Amino acid sequence: MRQGYLIDMDGVLYRGSELIPGADRFIAQLREREIPFRFLTNNSQRTRRDVVAKLARMGIDAEEEHVFTCAMATARFLAQQKPGGTAFVIGEGGLLTALHENGYAVVDHDPDFVVVGEGRTFNLELVEAAVRMILNGAKLIATNLDPNCPTQTGLRPGCGAMVAMLEAASGVKAFGVGKPSPLMMRAARKDLGLTTAETTIIGDTMETDILGGIQLGFHTVLVLSGGTRSDDLKHFAYAPDMIVDSLAELHDRLELTDWNPPWAKPVHPAPAPRERLRTALAYR
């Protein structure tokens, strides 16, 4: 059976600006073996090109087609809901670019949607404007509902924390598109061109990557190189298919099976016509 991977980034490939040892080897093997994969991130700040440039600085060779962001998922969702619509945006370049690429205009008055992504441009002036628009009928959309984001110096408020302020002020609940929403994860799987049974998600967070994967029927691999520790697993009613310390360990395990994960069914060649006839006669 064909297999492909959806791979979380922060805590799986790197921490901050530092490569997690072995992540580059894992990605290099995927490319060498032509195994389909996508990097899946809830960070809406960077464009695909920005992400590729960051990975290149760390020694990971990737193309823009390998990157799938929550900004892309959000923009595609909005384009399906209302083609050629308008949005008031609290966010940065990755989100703005994705919206423009999907036919959306970014406006300051009477938008169809108020769209929120993480970033450092958040201020009370934007909050006041957004609340007025929401109360005037604009729909509130969040690229993701993560309450915080890891950085090299600790946690900083995430998109979910920013959206919570708008929800409290307006009394309107936001619709979240990013992980673990099936909208983003199903879209990424379709981008790979794989079936559910052929898709494995690799992540470091039980509440997003693993939860979303299990809900959609993907195979799941938890790496302990990011935000989850072994002791945390007892708090969850669900479990991943595989737990590894890092992508380096996953690489070594897959090397032992010629890169066939334990859940991959072997593909047997179809029997020759004479053999099929012999088999059919044996059951008569």
Q: Catalytic positions, please?
A: 8, 10
| Displacement of CA 60 from its chain's centroid (Å) | 18
Please tell me the distance from the alpha carbon of residue 123 to that of residue 116, in angstroms, as a whole number.
12
| Displacement of CA 72 from its chain's centroid (Å) | 10
